[in-house]
Amino acid sequence: MEKNTHQFQTEVRQLLDIVIHAFYSDREVFVRELVSNASDALEKLRLRQLTESAVHEPERDLRISITTDEEAHTLCIQDAGIGMTQDEVVEYLGTIAHSGTKKFLEAMKESQGGAQDLIGQFGVGFYSVFMAADKVEVTTRSWQPEAKAVKWTSDGQEGYELEEAPADTPRGTSILIHLKEDAQIFSRAEHVRYVLNKYSNFVGFPIDFNGEHLNTVQAIWMKNKKDVTAEEYEGFFKFISHSEEAPLTHMHFSADAPIVLNALLYVPTENPEAMGFGRCEPEVSLYCRKVLIDSKPEKLLPEWLRFLVGVVDSEDLPLNISREMLQDNSLLRKISGIITNRFIKHLEGLAKTEPESYEKFWATFSRYIKEGVVTSWEHKAQLGKLLRFQSTFTEEGKLTSLADYVGRMKENQKDIYVLYGPNRSQLEHSPYLDALKARGFEVLFLMDGGDQFVMDALMKFDDKDIKSIDRADLELPEVADATPDAPCLEAAEAEGLATWVGDTFKDRFSKVSTSDRVTSAPAIALQGAGDVAPEVRAYLKAMGQEVPESHPEIAFNPRNPVVMKLAELRKTDTELATLLADQLVNTALLRAGMLEDPSTLAENSQQLLEKLLAR
């Protein structure tokens, strides 16, 4: 066959112009496209060998060979795959019959977003080579024994030349790329090796690069779990995470419906954000049939799972041009939902079967789970099962789940009770516990600065409301008086004291009363119905936002000797009584985290001492 010149169809020329100038944000992906095509050609031949008795060069190994020539400024990618006949070359590389070009161009005309909104939906990946090529020579021989070898040559401009290739051309396809002057980096071995390791390290066929076998690490996520050893799991984690540490745990699963998925996710031993490196980026890569689509895909997983490391592979994703632009957001959301639900169940299973491993996980990554409760409404109920806290019923350092807490609830207890504070020692001495201890109710200790937001988001667990015991509107069942004969303010005296304090500190408190909710301190400060919690107030203040006024309630202990003395003093020495009352309410506010200016307590203490010494 003599050399013949052919013109590209109009649509192909339009496509080439788009590919060269608009498709890719990074040129290196053309290497990925061609390697992916080579892998597809090998897979097609492998399947053909199962059904055909006559295949050209049946003994030839199924592999991909890539060579660079820095002096000639060329890159060559060869495969021993199914190859093409002359008609197929014209059909695939010169017309719109199977490339998807025409549909692509029609869709692009209707799109408001342009090429970037459509690439990846049509099979036009081969043409990406012209981003880097001055000239491309495709030499190919079909698997069919009688087929002749063909050479296709083009500069990607107006058309292409077609001629017969030498008779000894081996089966498969060879693409020789003559690189543009500004793309000659792709003839340098170290750069091409980097690109291959980045995108094609797990291609299912051997890749020989300049005579060296390159892809030595297996894509174990595509294997059945029972066929992967613990050593292989650990080795693969170290490879993809560039770490010498073994993972804390891993999850490996496959799904056929509603989406075909293979995933292998690891929890590392260390939390990078805890080491002062700032917010970590996602480390779960997205693949399609072992070919990398995106090493850091946005929205593949929710933000609170950014600590995970691993691989997600779905053959339902498009395996064509511009994989860095994931277009099918609905598909990505489905993948995200499947993986997220599976991982939450994995952690639930870990907590049951390997409690010590889960405790290590919680100690390192609890902040992420709590972030998930606050930010992921659809998963907050599931994530609530993973929360762990200390409580009045646990030893120091020991944790309990909300499910275990509910299982220990008293018959007359309807809510889950919590108390916020900086540490266990301070919480254990909190006067708010008095009323709960008297009723035998367990209280969870929430000592992380963000726990207030977590519980506000969760609100309920197992249909039980979560209530902070420092709230004024907390409803508790009646309890018998353990010390009925102990001295106590009479009802009239108690009411008079409450009225006097309210009048003395007018507009400072929403309510003043005496209450059996406090037995170990003279008084407690309670959050009013409309008050913002101290933790939230501190957050708003730190963020420079407006902090709403607080009008807490004050509850006095009618059995406390100091309170009983205050009731007398308000009638005989108003000045001293005022100083004493101010001391009591400021102390209560301080213990509740509601005292805006602690210096006022010190000033009042000094005045109170001076007054007492002067008597």
Cβ neighbours of 548 (radius 10 Å): 12
Distance CA(22)–CA(30), nearest Å, equals: 13
pLDDT, tens digit, 9 for 90 and up, residues 417-455: 999 999 999 999 999 999 999 999 999 999 998 899 999
Q: Which residues contact 590 (CB under 8 A, 6 or more apart)?
A: 598, 601
**Is pLDDT of 97 > 60?**
no
Q: What is the pLDDT of residue 118?
A: 36
Q: What is the pLDDT of residue 318?
A: 67
Q: What is the pLDDT of residue 11?
A: 73
Q: Please tell me which residue, 154 or 120, carries the higher pLDDT value.
A: 154
Tokens 């002057």 belong to: 181
The percentage of the chain sitting over the pLDDT mark of 70, rounded to a whole number, equals: 91
Instruction: Say if CB 175 and CB 34 are below 8 A apart.
Output: yes
Q: Please tell me which residue, 369 or 40, carries the higher pLDDT value.
A: 369
Distance CA(324)–CA(326), nearest Å, equals: 6
As a residue count, the chain comes to: 615
pLDDT, tens digit, 9 for 90 and up, residues 202-244: 888 999 999 999 988 889 999 999 999 999 999 999 988 888 8
Give the end-to-end CA distance of the chain in Å, rounded to a whole number. 123
**Is pLDDT of 10 > 80?**
no
**Is pLDDT of 106 > 60?**
no
Order of all β-strands in the sheet with 416-420 = 400-401, 388-391, 443-446, 416-420, 464-468, 460-461
pLDDT, tens digit, 9 for 90 and up, residues 306-363: 999 999 999 887 654 344 455 556 788 889 999 999 999 999 999 999 999 999 999 9
Q: What is the pLDDT of residue 121?
A: 35
Q: Please tell me which residue, 304 or 486, carries the higher pLDDT value.
A: 304
Backbone angles phi, psi at 501, to 5 degrees: -65, -40
Q: What is the pLDDT of residue 122?
A: 35
**Is pLDDT of 258 > 90?**
no
| Closest residue by Cα to residue 600 from 505, 501, 499 | 505
Instruction: Say if CB 93 and CB 152 are below 8 A apart.
Output: yes
| Closest residue by Cα to residue 73 from 185, 155, 154, 174 | 185
Q: What is the pLDDT of residue 407?
A: 97
pLDDT classification of 523: cutoffs 50, 70, 90: very high
| Closest residue by Cα to residue 528 from 547, 498, 555, 552 | 552
Instruction: Say if CB 86 and CB 72 are below 8 A apart.
Output: no
Q: Which residues contact 360 (CB under 8 A, 6 or more apart)?
A: 248
**Is pLDDT of 119 > 90?**
no
**Is pLDDT of 200 > 90?**
no
Distance CA(338)–CA(37), nearest Å, equals: 29
Q: What angle do CA 69, 75, 78 make, to 5 degrees?
A: 120
How does DSSP assign 286-340, residue by residue? EEETTEEEESS-TTSS-GGGTT-EEEEE-TTS--SS-TTS---HHHHHHHHHHHH
**Looking only at Cα atoms, what is the longest distance across the chain?**
123
Residue 201 corresponds to which amino acid?
A: N
The stretch 477-499 carries a mean pLDDT of 88
Q: Please tell me which residue, 183 or 1, carries the higher pLDDT value.
A: 183
The percentage of the chain sitting over the pLDDT mark of 90, rounded to a whole number, equals: 63
pLDDT, tens digit, 9 for 90 and up, residues 540-586: 777 777 777 778 999 999 999 999 999 999 999 999 999 999 999 99
Rounded to 10 deg, the angle between the 561-572 and 574-592 helix axes is 140
Q: What is the pLDDT of residue 321?
A: 35
Q: Is 566 helix (H, G, I), strand (E, B) or coil?
A: helix
Instruction: Say if CB 456 and CB 375 are below 8 A apart.
Output: no
The stretch 467-489 carries a mean pLDDT of 87
**Is pLDDT of 114 > 50?**
no
Q: Please tell me which residue, 259 or 540, carries the higher pLDDT value.
A: 259
Q: What is the pLDDT of residue 502?
A: 95
Q: What is the pLDDT of residue 22?
A: 56
Backbone angles phi, psi at 482, to 5 degrees: -75, -25
Q: What is the pLDDT of residue 138?
A: 97
The overall average pLDDT reported for the chain is 88
Q: Please tell me which residue, 607 or 22, carries the higher pLDDT value.
A: 607
- Residue 75 vs residues 154, 176, 243: alpha-carbon distances, Å: 15, 6, 33
Q: What is the pLDDT of residue 29?
A: 83
**Is pLDDT of 116 > 50?**
no
Structure letter (DSSP) for residue 547: P
**Is pLDDT of 539 > 80?**
no
Burial class (CB in 10 A: 0-12, 13-18, 19+), 563: buried
Q: Strands 460-461 and 464-468: what pairing?
A: antiparallel
> What's the CA dihedral at 85, 86, 89, 91 to 10 degrees?
-100
How does DSSP assign 49-115, residue by residue? HHH-S--SSTTS---EEEEEETTTTEEEEEE-S----HHHHHHHHTSSTTT-HHHHHHHHHH-SS-G
Distance CA(443)–CA(462), nearest Å, equals: 16
Least confident among 31-40, 319-328, 456-465, 529-538: 319-328
pLDDT classification of 290: cutoffs 50, 70, 90: confident
**Is pLDDT of 120 > 70?**
no
The stretch 379-399 carries a mean pLDDT of 97
Structure letter (DSSP) for residue 130: G
**Is pLDDT of 598 > 60?**
yes
Distance CA(369)–CA(458), nearest Å, equals: 12
Q: What share of the chain is helix, strand, coil (3-state, %, to 5)?
A: 40, 20, 40
Q: Please tell me which residue, 403 or 20, carries the higher pLDDT value.
A: 403
Order of all β-strands in the sheet with 261-267 = 249-255, 261-267, 309-313, 283-288, 291-294
